[in-house]
Amino acid sequence: MPLDVPARAFALPEGVDPGALVSFLGERFDLAVDPPERTDHTVLDTADRRLRAAGAELRLHTHRGEPTMALAGRPGAPPLTATVRRRPRWLAGDLPEGPLRDRIAPAIGVRALLPLARVRGEVRPARVLNRDDKTVVRLRLATHAAVVEGGEVPLTPRLEVAGVLGYRRPFERLVSVLTTEAGLVEAPGSVADEAIAAAGGDPDGVPSKVRVPLRPDQRTDEAAVAVLRALAGVVEANLPGTLDDLDTEFLHDLRVAVRRSRSVLREMKRAFPPGPLRRQRDALRWVQAVTGPTRDLDVQLLEWDDLVATLPEDRQAALAPVRALLERRRRDAHRALRRELTGEAYGAAWGGYRRFLDGDLGPDDERPDAAAPVVAVAGRRIRKVYRRMVAMGEAVDAGSPATALHELRKRGKELRYLLELFGGLWPGDEARDMVRALKALQDVLGTHQDREVQADALRALAPDLAGVEGGPDALLALGAVVERLGTEQRAARERFADRFAEFASPSRQALVAETFRP
């Protein structure tokens, strides 16, 4: 269990002299002031701030020419550290084995650690002592500045206060003096957040999802455009990381935002003029198509280690040419993706789409749902897509082709996006409950489809493998991998009936009809 060591951070109001504050505290406590320390570090986190979300802070220092990562521990405890190689970014596998990697890897997953801001400053450590000269409270009076192009941006001076295990009362007394006598207030955020903002970044990180506040009585076209603009922002925020290939999630989040946008245009099509709508749907379909090959290979490579983990070691070794071939194809696919997304065709397509969202959509008589309350239109679409899914799922039996489950999965994505983007229009938890039930069904359908696609893709490698060193042995070992994929696909199909029964139960059908009625 974590040790209960209290800690607070207070902002120094403008005009308060740090030296005067130290003198003020020295008059009220037995204060030992240690020599000041110069600091210079880089804030590291994933683009979507996963370490911050986990309550962790990672810094990169350079000590004697070697970059060292330091992960802050509990207040007063030494950080976890590890010397790393100098890189523009670090995946979990790039970190040396040890406690720091063990703590960080589960939090960041497949995302890369990136330098988000550089911070310089000075820290004046101090300690509150008791009658026995034991340290009972630790203080750090810190002044920082974010290093930006052209100079430095001062950050909020702060006083960090950390308790010592077993001495809570001295900590509480010091905090009381700071708040009541000195008039200090809590620091507005972390040094990392302030520095990232000062450097022009978003402390919350690169977005992957959108939360657009909508009113039930809002015009459907206005609501749909607001959602689409937010999704376009996600695409644009993730484009640089996709082009630079920092990690696979930039492309994934970009593609999901495009797919959600296509879904909104499809489900809310009666709120848009038909001709321009058709052109924008074609443009987004093209973006989805040119980014697809790279994402398919990302999935293959991300799941490769788990896929072959159960094979004997000699077969795993024999599969090395397969992985090398996948990695080569993935590099080629990303180069092609980069050419497309930096080319004139993409610039024209995306520029036209942005003008479509920012322009006049035309008279209402060409758009029958434009002025209707969005709660009515979205509710109607949710009920219709759900009923369609129920009918499609009930028609699936042992003899149904795999395409039947794939089509059901596509309809499920439509429903999920409607619920996630517009579900806040309804009070209560029904939309969230439906998303949970839908996710359980989609997991089965996704596994069923993905395993078929992966098996087909691996079989297609045979001609290229035949002519490389170790290729024949790799082909033999690959058969075991394809067989496992087939087994997992069949297992997913066997689970389908139970998951679908929960999703399409009579009680849920009645609840959907009641909740999302006009």
pLDDT of residue 432: 84
Same domain, 22 and 159: yes
Are residues 171 and 34 both part of a single domain? yes
Please check whether residues 155 and 59 belong to one and the same domain.
yes
**Looking at 198, 233, 267, which one is the last position of a domain?**
198
- Is residue 320 in some structural domain? no
Show pLDDT as tens, one digit a residue, over the chain (518 residues): 345 678 899 998 887 788 888 899 999 999 999 999 999 999 999 999 999 999 899 999 987 778 999 998 666 568 899 999 999 999 999 999 999 999 999 999 999 999 999 999 999 999 999 999 999 999 999 999 999 998 999 999 999 999 998 899 999 999 999 999 988 999 988 999 999 999 999 999 999 989 999 999 999 999 999 999 999 999 999 999 999 999 999 999 999 999 999 999 999 999 999 999 999 999 999 999 999 999 999 999 999 999 999 899 999 999 999 999 999 999 999 999 999 999 999 999 999 999 999 999 999 999 999 999 999 999 999 999 999 999 999 999 989 999 999 999 999 999 999 999 999 999 877 788 888 889 999 999 999 999 999 999 999 999 999 888 998 899 999 999 999 999 999 999 999 999 999 999 999 999 999 999 87
CA end-to-end span of the chain, whole Å?
A: 51
Q: Are residues 394 and 442 in the same domain?
A: yes
Check residue 2 and give its pLDDT: 44
212 found inside a domain: no
Tell me if 310 is assigned to some domain: no
Query: Cα separation of 230 and 247, whole Å?
Result: 22
Burial class (CB in 10 A: 0-12, 13-18, 19+), 126: buried
Looking at the structure, tell me whether residues 470 and 502 fall in a common domain: yes
Whether residue 301 is contained in a domain is answered as: no
- Same domain (yes/no): 193, 49: yes
The amino acid at residue 357 is L
Q: Per residue in 36-69, pLDDT tens? A: 999 999 999 999 999 999 989 999 998 777 899 9
In a domain, 308, yes or no: no
Query: Domain check: are 189 and 239 in the same one?
Result: no
Residue 66: the pLDDT is: 87
Is residue 324 one of the residues assigned to a domain? no
Strand partners, 141: 124, 159
Residues 6+ apart with CB under 8 A from 103: 56, 71, 80
C-beta separation of 119 from 168 below 8 A: no
404: which 2 tokens?
Answer: 């039947």
Quote the CA–CA distance of 336 and 265 in Å, as a whole number.
Answer: 27
Residue 140 lies in a domain: yes
Residue ending a domain, choose from 366, 395, 427: 366
Q: Can you tell me which residue has the tokens 């009918």? A: 391
Considering only CA atoms, which of 373, 363, 325, 346 is closest in space to residue 471? 325
Residue tagged 């199909």 (tokens): 493
In this structure, what CATH number is given to the domain that contains residue 29? 2.40.320.10
Report the domain count for the chain.
Answer: 3
Residue 347 shares a structural domain with residue 461 = no
Residues 35 and 164 in one domain: yes
The answer to whether residues 74 and 18 belong to one domain is: yes
Q: What is the CATH number of the domain that holds 468?
A: 1.40.20.10
Say yes or no: 338 and 408 in one domain. Answer: no
Among residues 318, 349, 366, the one where a domain terminates is 366
Query: For the segment 303-341, what is each residue's pLDDT rounded down to a tens digit?
Result: 999 999 989 999 999 999 999 999 999 999 999 999 999
What is the model's pTM?
0.91
Query: Domain check: are 194 and 247 in the same one?
Result: no
pLDDT at 1: 34
**Domain ranges, residue 434:** 373-518
Contact call for residues 266 and 130 (beta carbons, < 8 A): no
239 in any annotated domain: yes
Could you tell me which residues are beta bridge partners of residue 153?
146
